[in-house]
Amino acid sequence: MAYKYYKDNRTYIEALKRTGDLIEITDEVDWDLEMGAIVRRVCEKKAPAVFFKKIKDYPGFTAFGAPIATYRRLAVSFGLDPETSIPDISKEYLKRTMGEPIKPKILDKKDAPCKEVVITGDKVNLFDLPAPMVHDGDGGRYIGTWHFVVAKDYDTDFVNWGMYRQMVYDEKTMVGPVLAFSDMGKMFYNKYVPRNIPMPFATVINPDPLSAIASCAPSPISEAEFTGMLMGEPVELVKCETCDLYVPAHAEIIIEGVVLPNVTLEEAPFGEYTGYRTSPRDKRTVYRVTAITMRKDPIMAISNMGVPTDEGQLLRSFSLGLEMERMLKDQGIPVTGVFMLPESTHHFVVVGVKPIYANIATQIGQLVFGSKLGPWFHMVMVVDDKTDIYNKDEIIHALCTKCHPSRGIRIEEHGVGTPLNPFASPEERLYGRAPKVVFDCLFPPEWPTSMVPIKVSFDNVYPKDIQEKVLSNWKRYGFKD
Ligand SMILES: Cc1cc2nc3c(=O)[nH]c(=O)nc-3n(C[C@H](O)[C@H](O)[C@H](O)COP(=O)(O)O)c2cc1C
C-alpha cells in the first residue's frame, strides 16, 4: 500500500506553500553568497524553507533552500500534518521501514523528467549550473549540498546512495571528502582504488524528499529499496546516459561521471554541520563529469551547513537515533526510546531504558559506539523509562542529579571519530580518532528501595484523584496550558 508522499520536489514545494512552510523570493538573488546568507539565516531562525525565483546570471533556473531543516518540514515530507510531534514522526519512520525492502521500478527515458535536457561530451560545463558560493571562506562553489551520490559495488549488485558534499573544481571536475568508513568510501577505497579502476557515479541534485531522507539514513538496506519502503511503493528510476547506474526519474538535475582512483585535488574549507569550519584545504576525492541531464526549468537546491539547525543535523539526528533504537531492540535491550538532539549536531543521544540490571548503560554505550553508527557521535546519555527523552528540561535535570560525577561517567579513549570534530586535536582529526563518553543517569538497581531518592514532581508525588481534579479544573482556574 502506497503511503502519502511527494514524488518530486515540485509537489513537495507546493505542499510546503499550503502549510505556510515556504517563502518565495521574487527579487533577483546572487548565487555568490547572497543565496547562502538567506538560507543560513533561515536555518538559525528555524524559518520557512525558501524558493528563489530569479538567480543572477542564470535565467531559466530557480533554487530551493533549507528543504527539510525543521521537524514541521520533516512531517510534511512524510505526508503528515506539519504539527505532528517528533515521537509520532519517529513512529511513522519505524513503521514504514519495518517490512520487506521494495525494489525500484525502471522508467523509460521518455517518461523521466530528469532527461528533458541531455548534455554530454564537450558541451558539459558545470559552470552552466547555478552552484552557490554557500559561505564566505568556502574553498569554492558547492554544487552538492542537497543531493546524493549513486555508486555501485565492484563485486556485487549493491548500490549505495549517500550525501557527500561536492565542490566545483573546473568545468568538468568536482571534488569532495569521501570518508573511509562511509558506504561509498568502503566501496571505493577497498575495491576500485586497489584495482586502479574509475568508479562510475551519478550525483542526484534536488531529489524528492523521501529519497533524500533515505540517502542520509545509516540503513543497511540499499537506499533505493529503503526509499521504496518509505513510499510504500517502488521509487521510479531511470538509466544514466554514460554509465550503468540508475537515478530517480523525477529529480531536478543529474551529473554523471567517474570517481578517479589514485588522483586527488584540493578541496575545502567549507562551513560544516558541526557549526564550524574545521577541515583545512586538502587533497580529496575527484569526480570527473561525463554528462549532465536535467529538467527544462531545473530547480537547484541548497542546504547550508552551520550552527543548528540544518538538514545535516536534523535528518542525521533523526535517522541515526531511530536506527540506533532498532539496533538496540534487535539486541534485546529493553529500550523505551532513543532521541538524538539535532542541536547537538548529532553528537549527543539520549537513550531511555528499563533499568533491569546493573551497568546496562555501559552495555548500551558499547553497542552503539561499536556499531556502524558509532563514528558520527561521541556522547550517550542513558535515562530510565520515566524520563521524557524529548524534554530538554528533564534531560538536564536527570544529568545533574542522577549521573555520579566519577562512577557515572564512562570514557572510552580510543574511539573512531570523524575528521570534522571541532574538539579534537589536529592530529586526532587527521586520523579520525575520538574518545567516547557514556553518562549513566540510572540509579543503581542494587540500591535498597528505601534508599532510592523519590522524584518530587506533579506526576510522581500526588494521588491520581488529586492530579485528575487539578488537571480537569486547570483552564477554569485561569491557566492557559
Ligand atoms: C546535507 C548533508 C551533507 C552531508 N555531507 C557529507 C559529506 O560531505 N561527507 C560525508 O561523508 N557525509 C556527509 N553527510 C552524511 C552522510 O550523508 C551520511 O553519512 C550518509 O548516511 C552517508 O551514507 P552511507 O551511510 O551510505 O555512507 C551529509 C549529510 C547531509 C544531510
Nearest to 132 by CA among 224, 57, 236, 211: 57
Residue range 296-325: mean pLDDT, rounded: 97
The stretch 229-253 carries a mean pLDDT of: 98
**Residue found by looking up cell 563518553 in the block:** 437
Instruction: Based on the fold, state whether residues 32 and 145 are members of the same structural domain.
Output: yes
Q: Cα(417) to centroid of ligand 1, in Å?
A: 14
Centre of ligand 1 to C-alpha 420, Å, is: 12
- Look at strands 433-440 and 409-416 and give their pairing: antiparallel
pLDDT digits (tens, 9 = 90+) for 360-390: 999 999 999 999 999 999 999 999 999 999 9
Contacts of 391 (CB under 8 A, 6+ apart): none
Is any atom of ligand 1 closer than 6 Å to the C-beta of 21? no
- Does the CB atom of residue 183 touch ligand 1 within 6 A? yes
Pocket of ligand 1 contains residue 163 by CB under 6 Å:
yes
Q: Is the CB of 223 under 6 A from ligand 1?
A: no
- 3-state helix, strand, coil split of the chain in percent (to 5) is 35, 25, 40
- Whether 21 and 135 map to the same domain: the answer is yes
Burial class, 410, CB count within 10 angstroms (exposed 0-12 / middle 13-18 / buried 19+): middle
Whether 464 is in a domain gets the answer: no
Does one domain contain both 94 and 22?
yes
Q: Which residue's CA lies nearest to atom 10 of ligand 1? A: 164
Q: Is the same domain home to 340 and 297? A: no
Domain boundary pick from 283, 302, 321: 302
- Whether residues 270 and 142 share a domain: the answer is yes
To test the ligand 1 pocket, which listed residue (64, 70, 149, 182) has its Cβ within 8 A of the most ligand atoms? 182
- The average pLDDT across 412-437 equals 94
Task: With a cut of 90, say whether residue 1 has pLDDT above it.
Answer: no
* 53 Cα: distance to centroid of ligand 1 (angstroms): 28
**172 in any annotated domain:** yes
User: Is residue 474 one of the residues assigned to a domain?
Assistant: no
pLDDT in tens, 78-117: 999 999 999 999 999 999 999 999 999 999 999 999 999 9
Whether the per-residue pLDDT at 222 is higher than 90: the answer is: yes
Query: Of 302, 323, 347, which one is at a domain's C-terminal end?
Result: 302
359: left (phi over 0), alpha (psi -120 to 50) or beta: left
273 and 161 fall within a common domain: yes
164 CA → ligand 1 middle, Å: 5
Nearest CA owner, ligand 1 atom 28? 163
| 221/156 same-domain check | yes
> Separation of 328 CA from ligand 1 center, angstroms?
23
| DSSP class of 95 | H
Examine the domain organization and report whether 285 and 353 are in the same domain: no
* CATH number, domain containing residue 367: 3.40.1670.10
Q: Does residue 288 belong to any structural domain of this protein?
A: yes
- pLDDT, mean over the chain: 97
Q: Is 342 in the pocket of ligand 1 (CB under 6 A)?
A: no
Q: Is the pLDDT of residue 51 over 90?
A: yes
- Per the DSSP assignment, residues forming a β-bridge with 190 are none
Q: Is 166 in the pocket of ligand 1 (CB under 6 A)?
A: no
- Residue 385 falls within a domain, yes or no? yes
What distance, in Å, lies between the first and last C-alpha atoms of the chain? 39
> Which residue type is seen at 438?
V
Give me ligand 1 centre to Cα 182, in Å. 8
- Answer for the pair 438, 382: CB distance below 8 angstroms, yes or no: yes
pTM: 0.96
Together in a domain, 154 and 211: yes
Ligand 1 centroid – CA 149 distance (Å) = 10
Q: Are residues 283 and 389 in the same domain?
A: no
Q: Is residue 310 part of a domain?
A: no
Q: Closest ligand 1 atom to the C-alpha of 181?
A: 27
Q: How far apart are CA 328 and CA 351, in angstroms?
A: 10
Number of domains composing the chain: 2
pLDDT in tens, 455-475: 999 999 999 999 999 999 999
Task: Please check whether residue 253 lies inside any domain of the structure.
Answer: yes
Q: Are residues 250 and 361 in the same domain?
A: no
CATH number at residue 90: 2.30.110.10
Quote the domain boundaries for residue 441: 331-459
Evaluate whether residue 405 is within a structural domain: yes
Ligand 1 within 6 A of CB of 236: no
pLDDT at 220: 86
% pLDDT > 90, the chain: 99
348, 438: one domain: yes
Is ligand 1 within 6 A of the CB of residue 160?
yes
Q: Residue 481's pLDDT is what? A: 85
